Structure 1
Amino acid sequence: MEQGRAREDAWVPHAPAASLTASSSLRVPEQARGEHTHSEPPAPRVAVQRHSVRGQILDALRAALVDGELIPGQVYSAPALGARFGVSATPVREAMQQLAVEGAVEVVPNRGFRVAERGPGELAELAEVRALLEVPVMLRLARTVDRAGWTALRPLADATVEAAAVGDRACYAESDRAFHRAVLALSGNQELVRVADDLHRRSQWPLGHNPATRRADLLADAVEHTALLDALIAEDLPVVQSLVREHFTGADR
């Protein structure tokens, strides 16, 4: 247990643009921490601030998971993480509860939250389910969406390449999902977009014994996005079919 605590204390979260860190200027007002006086009821804006803080912490924790900074198998307490973020334990606990719903962490009574340990088999199963949902839709869209519709997605594909080029795994994870959401949104089925995005997010949590994704792997995945768009714009259906199926072959897409 002491070893686990030492590793936890050594963790410094990788902070995306919207995240909070203990050294940042985004300190939470006393009211947003839930420390109200009896004579002054909380103003309506306090709930908005608290929700915003929780959302920023959730983004920071997700980025730390993708980067492997939250180590699979390790237990992290809400008070300890809150101290690092400069907030109370409550918004951290709420964010962790959301991550538990997503399957990224497990609740450990009276201790905190353990980062889920996952193996290649689970990622392969997620990739298979994603392929069952997304591949038929993408192939149908390839026959119905015009070139202008596909060309409009070019900035999203380029964003994945830019993130991969610098090895920013957290930024890549977000841009990767944004590209896939935009493609599926062309179907007009928002429920499909929601379910597929949830599966996609779960597939991005790192493996227990291999938390880091190599920059070369990110680039290979990103290049598939641009190659797919090129084929869609050119209306080259055989190439589209090959690329779409290949894109879901790996367990870390």
Structure 2
Amino acid sequence: MSDINLQPIEKPQGVRDRVTRALRAAIISGEMAPGEIYSAPSLGARLGVSPTPVREAMLDLAKEGLVERLLNRGFRVTEVDDHYLDEITELRQLIEPPVVRDVVQLIPAEDIPGLRAAAEKIVQRAVEHDLYGYTETDKDFHLALLRYAGNGRIVKLIEELRAQTRLVGLASLAERGELAGSAAQHIAIVDAIEARDSDLVYRLMVDHISQTRSTWAGNPSGQ
């Protein structure tokens, strides 16, 4: 098994949910490699939990299409091709930028400091090379913006689309010290929101999602 930077899970409350989130983030970030087979006992040892919650979490992730169960062998991370990732990008571009643009004027001024703190937390996780923390805080930030539209279906759809991605270039981006620069895009988005510049927010969101697609391909520079 390749080296995976999984942190021990605190017990006992909500172990299964935390294991699921940790494994999902490891898959999305590319730390758990597509096509590789992982066993519940070995992953449990890394997380500091028994194999049972890991097995349960993996079954949940199998329902999401992130892994497939191999009888008596473990679980294999499913592979996705460029066309699949392009489709996810297209959907996100159609939904997120216009929705966030339209809620800019609706976001209360008193919420801005919280959004800024969330954006800065993403940068901090990037500086720390905490890929699990980065993917989780990044997800929370984007979904928080979408919630201002008051449409729960949009939030759920984007959450599901994000869960189906693979950020295979994320680890290398962190190793080169470039992840923090990418993370800083979130602060720029908050700056534009605070300035009530809806058009700029739209353009920043489009650029951010496009750059994220390059990261999915393992080519952060987009070249």
TM-score normalised by L of structure 1: 0.72
For this pair of structures, how many residues does the alignment match?
Answer: 212
Distance in 1, Cα, partners of 2:41 & 2:123: 37
Question: Which residue number corresponds to residue 100 of structure 1?
Answer: 62
SS of match in other structure, 2:184:
helix
Aligned pair in 2 of structure 1 residues 213, 194: CA closer, same or farther (>3 Å)? farther
Q: CA shift at 1:144, angstroms?
A: 2.9
Distance in 2, Cα, partners of 1:85 & 1:148: 38
Question: Which residue number corresponds to residue 169 of structure 1?
Answer: 131
Question: Which residue number corresponds to residue 159 of structure 1?
Answer: 121
CA contact (8 A) 1:14 1:63 kept: no
Question: Which residue number corresponds to residue 121 of structure 1?
Answer: 83
SS of match in other structure, 2:171:
coil
Question: Which residue number corresponds to residue 193 of structure 2?
Answer: 232
Distance in 2, Cα, partners of 1:81 & 1:156: 30
CA RMSD in angstroms comes to 2.6
Q: Which runs of 4+ in 1 moved over 6 A?
A: none
CA contact (8 A) 1:74 1:115 kept: yes
Q: CA shift at 1:181, angstroms?
A: 1.4
TM-score normalised by L of structure 2: 0.81
Distance in 2, Cα, partners of 1:184 & 1:174: 16
SS of match in other structure, 1:152:
helix
Equivalent residue in structure 1 for 2:24, among 44, 59, 62: 62
Question: Which residue number corresponds to residue 6 of structure 2?
Answer: 15
Q: CA shift at 1:190, angstroms?
A: 2.3
Larger radius of gyration: 1
2:151 corresponds to 1:189: yes
Distance in 2, Cα, partners of 1:168 & 1:122: 26
Identity of aligned residues (%): 37
More moved, 155-164 vs 129-138: 129-138
Structure 2: 5+ residue runs without aligned partners? Answer: 217-223
Per-residue CA distance 1:47-98 (angstroms, 9 max, x = gap): xx5x733223223323432454422211123344345556543322211011
Distance in 2, Cα, partners of 1:55 & 1:139: 32
